Structure 1
Amino acid sequence: MRIPFNQMQDVLYKLFVKYKFTEDKAKLMAKVYAESTLSGVNSHGINRIPSFIEYIENGLVKVDAEAEKVESFGSIERWDGHFGPGIINATKCTNRAVELAKHNGMGLVALRNTNHWMRGGTYGAQAADANCISILFTNTQPNMPPWGGKDSRIGNNPFIVSIPREQGHIVLDMAISQFAFGKINDYKLKGEKLPYFGGWDDNNELSNDPEKILLKERGLPIGYWKGSALSIILDMLATLLSAGNSTYKIGLKEFETGISQVYLCIYPEIFNDKNLQQKLISEIIDYTHDVEPMTPGDRTYYPGERSSLTKAKNLKLGIPVNEGIWQKIIALSI
């Protein structure tokens, strides 16, 4: 089924107000969830709402809490999220990293004790809208085996890089697993197999069956052993910089909460060559676009380009959502 963007945003706003969020926070979260779904990322948009409400009801997300600065080291700051909503905390920390970057050329906020930020690309786009380059990442619960191991010990630690661009921002938003687990669940909801291997089944064989992969959450790292190493490094950086929980500590809990994140922003206008920067980016994009596709009628894309096209299409036609998920949300909002 397809839902108009404004209708989805209104329903979500009413739902969050019902769960005692202030009007401003309810508007922000409704906007972020709806825009993620509008861009085709249902896995970290509308599909996450029921589990987010469950986290609130279980006391894992503190409705009234939000991030605050606890230590300052010039252009680097440590913040504590106090287990508040991930979207509220992430928005606030991105804004602060932008402020630091515009004052110092570069700014870094390391956040601990927060909750899932949902779609990480949201904050890459937020930084780019403020004319900043960003490098953002988070650790997670254990959901991938370290290369050569059987059991999950590392997280798929989403990694975001954004670059502002007048003709459309570049926004890389990727998990360090071949498929984000929300995306794997998308395929499960559709009753479809993954197009490529996405993790291991009970027989320690690589599988493209969502149900078999989700059974024990043993995802496949991107680049095999290289992705495994990258996951470990990102976890180390997020933990050390924030003085927060590592994937190991997060995995000791029943639910994924108290995660650690990094928000690094760079203000490119300090270089005073904005026209050159845009020219160089366009050269790279034009060069990668100008290639014969392997599949006739197909084409190549820069990071974030597909999402922009999907967003425009869904604004016009309505946002495709799983009917069962939508009915759950309607029931919760009443």
Structure 2
Amino acid sequence: MRIEYHEMRDILYKLFLKYKFTEKKALLMANEYTESTLVGVNSHGINRVPLFIEYIEKGIVKVDAEAEKKESFGSIERWDGNSGPGIINATKCTNRAVELAKKHGIGMVALRNTNHWMRGGTYGKQAADSDCIAIFFTNTQPNMPPWGGKDSRIGNNPLIVSIPRKEGHIILDMSISQFAFGKINDYKLRGEKLPFPGGWDENDILSDDPEKILANERGLPIGYWKGSALSIILDMLATLLSAGDSTYKIGLNEFETGISQIYLCIYPDVFNDKNLQERLINEIIDYTHDVDPMNPGDKIYYPGERSAATRNKNIKDGIPVDKSIWKKIIELSA
């Protein structure tokens, strides 16, 4: 089924008001969940809303809490999320990293004790809209085995890199697993196999069956051993810089909470050569586009280009939503 943008946003706004969020926060979250679904990331948009509400009901997400600055070292700050909503905390910390970057050329906020930020690319776009380059990442609960290991000990630790561009921002938003677990669940909801192996089954065999992978939560790292190493390093950096919890500590919780995140922004206008920067970025994009596809009729995309095209299509045609998910949202908001 397809839902019109404003209908989805208004229903979610009503839902968040029901759970005692202020009008400002309810609107921010309704916009972010809807926007993520609009660009085709249902796994971190509408599909995630029922779980978010469950976290509120269990007291894991504290409705009235938000991030606070705890320590400051010039262009570097440490913040505590106070178990507040991930979207609210991430939006606030992105804004602060942008402020620091515009003052110092570079700014970083290290955040601990927060909750899932949903679609990380949201904050990459937020920074790019403010003319900043962004490098953001987060740790997670353990959901991948370190390379060669049998049990999950590392997280799929999403990494976001965004670069502002007049013709359309470049936004890389990727987990360190071959497929984000929300995306694996998307395939499960559609009754489809993954296009490539995405994790191990109960017999330690790589599988494209989403149900078998979700049953064990043993995802496949990108690049095999290289992705495993990158996951460990991102966890170390997020934990060290924020003085927060590592994937190990997060895994001791019954639910994924208390995660650590890094928001690093760079203000490229300090170089005073914006036209040169635009030309260099477009040079790389043009060179990447100008290649014969392996499959006739295919198109080569830069990071974020496909999402922008999906957004335009869904604005026109409506946003595809799983019927069972939408039914649950309506029931929750009633």
TM range (shorter): over 0.9
Find the aligned partners of 1:214 and 1:41 in 2 and give their Cα distance: 18
1:232 matched to 2:232: yes
Deviation of 1:272 after TM superposition, in Å, equals 0.5
Query: Deviation at 1:122?
Result: 0.1
Report what 2:150 is aligned to: 150
The separation in 1 between residues aligned to 2:142 and 2:182, in whole angstroms, is: 15
Give 3-state SS (helix, strand or coil) of 2:299's partner.
Answer: coil
Query: 1:211-239: CA deviations, max 9, x gaps?
Result: 00000100000000000000000000000
State the one-letter code of the partner of 2:15: L
The secondary structure found in structure 1 opposite 2:109 is strand
1:296 & 1:162 partners in 2: Cα distance?
30
RMSD: 0.2
1:163 aligns to what?
Answer: 163
Cα displacement (A) at 1:149: 0.2
**What is the Cα deviation at residue 331 of structure 1?**
0.2
Structure-2 residue corresponding to 1:314 = 314
In structure 2, give the amino acid aligned to 1:319. Answer: I
In the alignment, the residues of structure 2 paired with residue 299 and residue 311 of structure 1 have an alpha-carbon distance, to the nearest angstrom, of 17
- What residue is the counterpart of 1:293 in the other structure? 293
Q: Which residue of 2 aligns with 1:284?
A: 284
What corresponds to 1:127 in structure 2? 127
* Separation of aligned partners in 1, 2:104 and 2:36: 31
C-alpha distance in 1, partners of 2:258/2:50?
A: 19
Aligned-residue offset at 1:155:
0.1
> SS at the partner of 2:112?
strand
Give the structure 2 partner of residue 77 of structure 1. Answer: 77
- Structure-1 residue corresponding to 2:55: 55
Paired residues for 1:26-37 under 5 Å: 26-37=26-37
Give the letter aligned to residue 286 of structure 1. D
Q: For residues 247 and 73 of structure 2, what CA distance do their matches in structure 1 show?
A: 25
Q: Give the equivalent residue in structure 1 for 2:305.
A: 305
2:255 aligns with 255
Please report how far the alpha carbon of residue 41 of structure 1 lies from its aligned counterpart in structure 2 after TM superposition.
0.2
TM-score for both structures, normalised by structure 1:
1.00
Match of 2:44 in 1: 44
1:220 is matched with: 220
Shift of 1:195: 0.2
Residue aligning to 1:270: 270
User: In structure 2, what is the Cα distance between the partners aligned to 1:253 and 1:7?
Assistant: 36
Deviation at 1:300, TM superposition (A): 0.4
Spell out, residue by residue over 1:269-306, the C-alpha distance to the aligned partner (whole angstroms, 9 max, x if none).
00000000000000000000000000010010000000
C-alpha separation between the residues in 2 aligned to 1:98 and 1:68?
16
Query: What is the one-letter code of the residue matched to 2:42?
Result: N
In the comparison of the two structures, how many residue pairs are matched? 334
Give the secondary structure class of the aligned counterpart of 1:63: coil
* Percent pairwise identity: 80
Task: Indicate whether 1:92 and 2:92 are aligned.
Answer: yes
Matches within 5 A, 1:3-18: 3-18=3-18
- Tell me, what secondary structure is at the counterpart of 2:193? coil
Counterparts of 1:255 and 1:221 in 2: how far apart (Å)? 22
Matching residue of 2:193: 193
SS of equivalent residue, structure 1 residue 261: strand
Local SS of the residue matching 1:48: helix
Counterpart of 1:117, as a letter, is W
Query: Which letter does structure 1 place at the counterpart of 2:45?
Result: G
* Structure 2, unpaired ranges of 5+: none
Cα shift at 1:101: 0.1
Whichever residue aligns with residue 168 of structure 1, its letter is G
1:66 equivalent in structure 2: 66
| 1:102-117 matches, cutoff 5 A | 102-117=102-117
**Which runs of 5 or more residues in structure 1 are unaligned?**
none
Distance 2:260 2:216 in 1: 23
Given residue 223 of structure 2, which amino acid in structure 1 is its aligned partner?
G
- Deviations 1:285-328, CA, capped at 9 Å, x for gaps: 00000000000100100000000000000000000000000000
Note if 1:206 corresponds to 2:213. no
Match of 2:61, SS state, is: coil
Kindly state the Cα deviation for residue 258 of structure 1 after the two structures are TM-superposed.
0.3
**TM-score under structure 2 normalisation?**
1.00
Query: Once the two structures are superposed, what CA deviation does each residue of 1:114-159 show, in whole Å capped at 9, x if it has no partner?
Result: 0000000000000000000000000000000000000000000000
Amino acid paired to 2:289: H
Alpha-carbon distance in 1 for matches of 2:271, 2:219? 41
